[in-house]
Structure 1
Amino acid sequence: MKVTVDPDLCAAHGACMVICPEVFRIGDEGWAEVLVDEVPAELEEQVQRAVVQCPTQAISVTVDRSAHAD
């Protein structure tokens, strides 16, 4: 799973950072930033919660289905 934050939508509420500080932080520009290239499996649920809780819907996730195919 990959996660991105749209800086044009982010209003720096910080909800994502509170929910999952291992993946999100407020950067020098004042907007949320993603700290990882790939979300660790054990943090996926928290990231999904951050997506739902983001008041401006600035966070999106993509899942590479081919990486999970056997």
Structure 2
Amino acid sequence: MKAIVDQDTCISCGACVGTCPEVYSFNDDDKAQAISGDIPADLQEGAKDGRDQCPVDAIDIKE
């Protein structure tokens, strides 16, 4: 499973980062980004919760 944050849609609200900081963080442009590579099994539910908290649906998770 991978998470992808659409940089053009992200409004830097921090909902995903606050929900699952192990997967999401802010990049140098103050936009959210996800960890590169596969999300570890123990963080997958948190990653989905972070996606679901995004008010502009900027996060896509590929199974």
Partner of 2:25: 25
Q: Pairwise mapping of residues 1-40 of structure 1 onto structure 2 (< 5 A)?
A: 1-40=1-40
Deviation >4 Å, runs of 4+: none
Q: Whole-Å Cα distance in 1 between the matches of residues 44 and 26 of structure 2?
A: 19
Q: In percent, how many aligned pairs have the same letter? A: 38
TM-score, scaled relative to structure 2: 0.93
Structure 1 unmatched ranges of 5 or more: 64-70
Give the number of aligned pairs.
63
In the alignment, structure 2 segments of 5+ residues that lack a partner are none
- Which structure's CA Rg is the greater one? 1
Query: How much is the aligned-residue C-alpha RMSD, in angstroms?
Result: 0.8
Residue 44 in structure 1 maps to residue 44 in structure 2: yes
